[in-house]
């Protein structure tokens, strides 16, 4: 897509392309993601284009001032001069979308983005009480199952306090349920805001291989959607995973019941007999049973968590002969389809800038994918792989179980074999840093 010498000075037949380095602003949201990509174009070619990829957080960075989220939105507003070209919401997790609600969300909406990209799993399907069958039964089932699972998590969180958890083990499990549950809460306001911004044909619900209009917005830039696969595309891996989408069918009925407030309060009845009043010999059994129910809740919220991560949009941009990979929080089940398709290994081997998947968690960067990146190198050299990580230590996982986020083993690898940049190394109070490629 480069202009040849004959056409210099003649814009009629010239291929339009970015006029300089791509700028990536990595915001310090704490635990979450928010990136502003700026593709520079000359005035004659319509000026710079700005794309926001995710805007959310579940724990602000150390030293964050009040109105941190609003300040980020204002910074985006300033940097894009009041006009945003596109928003990509990789998946429906609080740490990727919370900023699209509230005052910050209003500021973003005022920037009138021309395109709102979300995964196909967010496509508003027929309502649950629809009389006619939706166009695609399986996808509708999938969509409603997802919503039902989120209702279930909401009810779980509302009732968590009422569940007994006295022993350190019970407390630890309850805290996990709280952490994962919170991340998975449905954020109606943010979703509604994205839906409104996407009205009049501005919304795109994408899947692997989708031809996105982002390529028209960014002339001379290649944009490939590498995930998530559709159910049809992913069929070959179904049945091997506990996150099989059909699973949520089990919860669809529960979810509908939960929508009534009355039912919500009767879901987890407080124990009729308190531990103190129970006969001594029964206490151990009661404690074990409480632990079992807490562990089951934890299993449910974690399955939903993994499932939502696997709905992440995976984008590969190519501009200025450099590839930029933004995989959201995609885990192996999402990656697997793209990694099996012919030609993708060659494409991915050229990645020059990698937004580290899933905040550096142990399941966010498939090892095979990492080994495919040809630009990894121990020492500094031209074109060395750059890795960008937005995270906050201590929010998820435990180092004694090897589940801490970011995972130390991965961070060691990133530090040794790439130019590794993490929001955790920003000075306190720094909103964002800009990088040019
Ligand atoms: Zn995340």
- 344-373 pLDDT, tens per residue? 999 999 999 999 999 998 888 999 999 999
pLDDT on residue 249: 36
- Number of Cβ within 10 Å of residue 14's Cβ equals 16
Distance 382 CA to ligand 1 centre (A): 31
**Cα–Cα distance between 294 and 24 in angstroms, integer?**
42
pLDDT at 400: 77
State the distance from the centre of ligand 1 to the C-alpha of 353, rounded, in angstroms: 19
Tell me how far the alpha carbon of residue 307 lies from the centroid of ligand 1, in angstroms: 12
Band of residue 175 on the pLDDT scale cut at 50, 70, 90: confident
CA of 24 to the centre of ligand 1 (A): 18
Q: Is 127 helix (H, G, I), strand (E, B) or coil?
A: coil
Distance 19 CA to ligand 1 centre (A): 32
Compute, in angstroms, the gap from residue 239 CA to the centroid of ligand 1.
Answer: 25
CA of 56 to the centre of ligand 1 (A): 8
pLDDT of residue 418: 98
- Could you tell me what percent of the chain has a pLDDT over 90? 55
C-alpha 231 chain-centroid distance: 19
* Cα–ligand 1 centroid distance for 73 (angstroms): 19
**Residue 326 forms beta bridges with which residues?**
315
Q: At which residue do the structure tokens 């174009």 appear?
A: 41
**Sequence-separated (6 or more) residues with CB below 8 Å from residue 252:** 141, 144, 145, 148
> From the CA of 283, how far away is ligand 1's center (Å)?
39
pLDDT score, position 161: 72
Please tell me the predicted confidence (pLDDT) of residue 135.
58
What average pLDDT does the structure give for the chain? 83
What confidence score (pLDDT) does residue 136 get?
Answer: 61
Output the CA 133–ligand 1 centroid distance in Å. 34
* 84 CA from centroid of ligand 1 (Å): 23
Higher-pLDDT residue of 282, 419: 419
* Distance (Å) from CA 355 to ligand 1 centroid: 12
Residue 274's pLDDT is 65
- Output the CA 354–ligand 1 centroid distance in Å: 15
Higher pLDDT, 69 or 401: 69
pLDDT number for residue 124: 73
The H or E element spanning position 115 is strand 115-119
Contact 54, 90 (CB under 8 A): yes
Going along the chain from its start, the domains and CATH numbers come out as 16-436 (3.60.15.10)
Q: What angle do CA 84, 90, 94 make, to 5 degrees?
A: 100
CA of 96 to the centre of ligand 1 (A): 6
Q: What element of type H or E holds 435? A: strand 432-436
C-alpha 161 to ligand 1 mean position (Å):
25
For the chain, give the number of residues.
437
pLDDT in tens, 292-320: 878 888 888 888 888 888 889 999 999 99
Residue 264 has pLDDT above 60, yes or no: no
Q: How many whole angstroms from 311 Cα to the centroid of ligand 1?
A: 12
Give pairs for 285-290: CB < 8 Å, separation 24+.
287/166, 287/167, 287/170, 290/163, 290/164, 290/165, 290/170
pLDDT cut 70: percent of the chain above it: 82
CA–centroid distance, residue 43 to ligand 1 (Å): 36
- 269 CA to middle of ligand 1, Å? 32
Distance 183 CA to ligand 1 centre (A): 8
Q: Check if the beta carbon of residue 341 is closer than 8 Å to that of residue 226.
A: no
Q: What pLDDT does residue 244 have?
A: 40
pTM of the shown model: 0.84
- In this structure, of 161-170, 180-189, 414-423, the range with the lowest mean pLDDT score is 161-170
What is the pLDDT averaged over residues 134-140? 61
Q: Cα(93) to centroid of ligand 1, in Å? A: 6
The rounded Å distance from CA 112 to ligand 1 centre is: 25
Q: How confident is the model at residue 4 (pLDDT cuts 50, 70, 90)?
A: very low
Residue pair 431/72 in contact (Cβ under 8 Å)? The answer is yes
> What is the distance in A from the centroid of ligand 1 to the CA of 30?
11
Nearest-angstrom CA–CA distance, 45 and 316: 23
β-pair partners for 433:
26
DSSP secondary structure letters along 3-57 = PPGGGTT--SSPPP--SS--EEEEE--SBS-EEEEEE---GGGT--EEEEEEE--
CA dihedral 345, 347, 352, 355 (to 10 degrees): -70
Q: What is the dihedral of CA 319, 323, 324, 330, to 10 degrees?
A: 140
Give 108's Cβ-side CA count (13 Å radius): 36
96 or 300, which is more confident?
96
Give tens-digit pLDDT for 106-121. 999 999 999 999 998 8
Q: Which of 194, 159, 187, 196 is nearest to 174 (CA)?
A: 159
Residue 358 alpha carbon to ligand 1 centre in Å: 5
CA 32 to ligand 1 centroid distance, Å = 5
Distance from residue 142's CA to the centre of ligand 1 (Å): 21
Given pLDDT bands bounded at 50, 70 and 90, which one contains residue 256?
very low
Between the ranges 143-147, 211-215, 249-253, where is the mean pLDDT highest? 211-215
Q: 312 alpha carbon to ligand 1 midpoint, in Å?
A: 10
Instruction: Give the pLDDT confidence of 199-213 residue by residue, as tens digits.
Output: 999 999 999 999 999
Q: How far apart are CA 158 and CA 153, in angstroms?
A: 9
Beta strand pairing status for 203-206 and 314-319? unpaired
> Is pLDDT larger for residue 106 or for residue 125?
106
pLDDT at 182: 80
How far is the centre of ligand 1, averaged over its atoms, from the C-alpha of 366 (Å)?
A: 16
**Best CA proximity match to 19, nearest among 3, 4, 35, 6:** 3
Residue 354 burial (C-beta neighbours within 10 Å; 0-12, 13-18, 19+): buried
For ligand 1, the distance from its centroid to the CA atom of residue 274, given in whole angstroms, is 38
Q: How far apart are CA 40 and CA 216, in angstroms?
A: 15
Q: Tens of pLDDT along 10-64?
A: 445 568 999 999 999 999 999 999 999 999 999 999 999 999 999 999 999 999 9
Phi-psi region of 118 (alpha: psi -120 to 50; beta: other; left: phi over 0): beta
Find out whether 122 and 193 touch, Cβ atoms under 8 Å: no
**pLDDT tier at 402, thresholds 50, 70, 90:** confident
130 C-alpha to ligand 1 centroid (Å): 33
**Beta bridge partners of residue 323, listed in sequence order:** 318, 351
């Amino acid at each position: 897509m480069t202009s040849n010498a004959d056409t210099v000075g003649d814009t009629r037949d010239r291929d339009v392309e970015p006029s300089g380095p791509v700028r990536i602003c990595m915001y310090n949201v704490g635990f979450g993601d928010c990136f502003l990509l700026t593709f520079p174009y000359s005035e004659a070619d319509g000026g710079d284009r700005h794309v926001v990829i995710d805007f959310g957080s579940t724990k602000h960075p150390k030293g964050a001032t009040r109105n941190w989220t609003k300040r980020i939105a204002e910074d985006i507003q300033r940097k894009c001069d009041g006009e945003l070209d596109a928003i990509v919401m990789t998946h429906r997790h609080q740490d990727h979308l919370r900023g699209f609600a509230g005052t910050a969300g209003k500021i973003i909406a005022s920037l009138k983005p021309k395109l709102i990209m979300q995964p196909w799993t967010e496509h508003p399907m027929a309502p649950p009480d629809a009389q006619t069958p939706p166009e695609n039964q399986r996808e509708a089932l999938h969509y409603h199952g997802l919503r039902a699972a989120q209702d279930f998590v909401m009810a779980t969180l509302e009732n968590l306090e009422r569940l007994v958890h006295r022993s350190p083990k019970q407390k630890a499990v309850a805290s996990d349920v709280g952490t994962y549950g919170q991340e998975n809460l449905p954020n109606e306001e943010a979703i509604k805001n994205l839906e409104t911004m996407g009205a009049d044909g501005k919304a795109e619900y994408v899947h692997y291989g989708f031809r996105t209009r982002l390529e028209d917005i960014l002339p001379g830039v290649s944009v490939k959607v590498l995930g998530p696969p559709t159910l049809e595309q992913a069929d070959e891996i179904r049945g091997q995973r506990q996150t099989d989408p059909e699973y949520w069918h089990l919860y669809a009925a529960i979810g509908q019941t939960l929508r009534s407030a009355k039912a919500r309060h009767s879901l987890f009845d407080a124990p009729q007999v308190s531990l103190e009043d129970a006969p001594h010999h029964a206490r151990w059994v009661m404690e074990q049973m409480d632990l079992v129910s807490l562990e089951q809740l934890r299993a449910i919220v974690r399955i939903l968590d993994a499932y939502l991560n696997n709905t992440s949009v995976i984008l590969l941009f190519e501009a200025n002969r450099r590839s930029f990979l933004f995989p959201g929080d995609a885990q192996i089940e999402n990656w697997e389809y793209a990694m099996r398709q012919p030609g993708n290994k060659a494409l991915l081997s050229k990645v020059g800038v990698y937004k580290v998947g899933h905040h550096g968690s142990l399941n966010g960067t498939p090892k095979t994918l990492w080994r495919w990146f040809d630009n990894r190198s121990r020492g500094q050299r031209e074109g060395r792989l750059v890795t960008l990580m937005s995270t906050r230590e201590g929010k998820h996982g435990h180092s004694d179980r090897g589940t801490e986020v970011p995972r130390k083993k991965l961070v060691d690898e990133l530090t040794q074999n790439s130019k590794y940049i993490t929001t955790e190394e920003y000075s306190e109070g720094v909103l964002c840093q800009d990088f040019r490629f």
